């Protein structure tokens, strides 16, 4: 396994996002040069994205470009000027529920935007393109844990469909143009400075405001909650280890990055209540469209190839989140 090469230039799309911020920080701390691209949209509070950026801009090796992946000219100009060797595509319109009412945003960002990244990597060759997929591609699959060998052709949300589309587009570009590509199926990522649209973050805000939290499927759900530090370790391991061509000549690989330990939603809420020092008022609701009952990552490939698997407990992860949350919003 190759160690992280800090002499390479890294480009991270979605650079002001949750995972983009932590990955940028890890690479900059190691001494690498990083360029970040982000459209700074207001899907959730922009002030949090600006806060993350202010931390990154303190590093001499950081460069930020405000721009949209859906604008091909912006993407190509950045590749032309910066000439990255490793690209990590984390920019996407996120959120399963939002995709039900706002489909256009997902096609522009997740399909058109990713197409522009692929095209840029074709015209300005890179050593490795790593892209974010999602555990949502597993849809309503009943077999657990979810393996990258499982069929994933029945998405239950447009968001999931766009992520599966990314995987297919990536495979074809790898095959046609020899671009080494790795897709990462992230499982319910959480942690300090996270995404305010995620359930744990919304719960924390409502608990502290004394408002009831909405719990779907009467609380009967299981999620493979994965702490941000584990996600970043997984991604950093992969960056300088592009896949080798398969029997079809495509250098393409998919990994699950999840905790490999599904937690009951009610246990997660109880752990969050404990960390915040307050009990939640609870409103139980039926299952929502686009939701799935359980997520559970099979991470054997990650263990086999890198000797690593995520392992942060929800108690440990949520205490880190709560400490930050109470300080930031306190």
| Dist. CA 238–CA 128, nearest whole Å | 10
Phi, psi of 127 (to 5 degrees): -80, -25
138 assigned to active site: no
| Dist. CA 10–CA 86, nearest whole Å | 5
Closest by CA to 321, choosing from 258, 266, 271, is 271
Neighbours of 279 (CB within 10 A): 11
Q: What angle do CA 103, 76, 3 make, to 5 degrees?
A: 95
Q: Which residues of 8-41 are buried (b: 16+ CB within 10 A; e: fewer)?
A: bbbbbbbbbbbbbbbbbbbbbeeebbbbbbbbee
| Dist. CA 277–CA 280, nearest whole Å | 10
* Residue among 159, 173, 190, 227 flagged as catalytic: 159
Give the bridge partners for 263, in sequence order. 223
> What is the residue-wise DSSP string for 228-248?
HHHHHHHHHHHHT-PPPP-TT
Please list the active-site residues. 159
């Amino acid at each position: 396994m190759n160690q992280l090469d800090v002499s390479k230039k890294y480009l991270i799309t979605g650079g002001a996002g949750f995972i983009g911020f932590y990955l940028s920080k890890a690479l900059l701390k190691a001494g690498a040069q990083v360029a970040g691209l982000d459209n700074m949209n207001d899907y959730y509070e922009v002030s949090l994205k600006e806060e993350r950026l202010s931390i990154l801009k303190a590093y001499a090796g950081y460069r930020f470009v405000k721009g949209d992946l859906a604008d091909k000219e912006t993407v190509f100009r950045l590749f032309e000027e910066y000439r990255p060797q490793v690209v990590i595509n984390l920019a996407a319109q996120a959120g399963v529920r939002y995709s039900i009412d706002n489909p256009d945003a997902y096609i522009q960002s997740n399909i058109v935007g990713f197409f522009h990244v692929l095209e840029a990597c074709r015209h300005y060759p890179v050593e490795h393109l790593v892209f974010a997929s999602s555990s949502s591609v597993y849809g309503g699959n009943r077999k657990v844990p979810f393996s990258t060998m499982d069929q994933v052709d029945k998405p239950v949300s447009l968001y999931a469909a766009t992520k599966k589309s990314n995987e297919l587009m990536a495979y074809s570009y790898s095959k046609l143009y020899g671009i080494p590509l790795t897709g990462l199926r992230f499982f319910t990522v959480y942690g300090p400075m996270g995404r305010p649209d995620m359930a744990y973050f919304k719960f924390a805000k409502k608990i502290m405001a004394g408002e009831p939290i909405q719990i779907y499927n009467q609380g009967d759900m299981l999620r493979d909650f994965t702490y941000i530090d584990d996600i970043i370790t997984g991604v950093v391991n992969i960056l300088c280890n592009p896949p080798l061509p398969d029997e079809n000549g495509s250098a393409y690989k998919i990994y699950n990055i999840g905790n490999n330990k599904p937690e009951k939603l009610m246990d997660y809420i109880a752990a969050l209540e404990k960390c915040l020092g307050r009990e939640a008022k609870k409103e139980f609701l039926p299952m929502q469209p686009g939701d799935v009952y359980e997520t559970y990552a099979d991470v054997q490939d990650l263990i086999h190839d890198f000797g690593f698997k995520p392992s942060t407990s929800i108690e440990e992860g949520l205490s880190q989140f709560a400490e930050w949350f109470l300080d930031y919003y306190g």
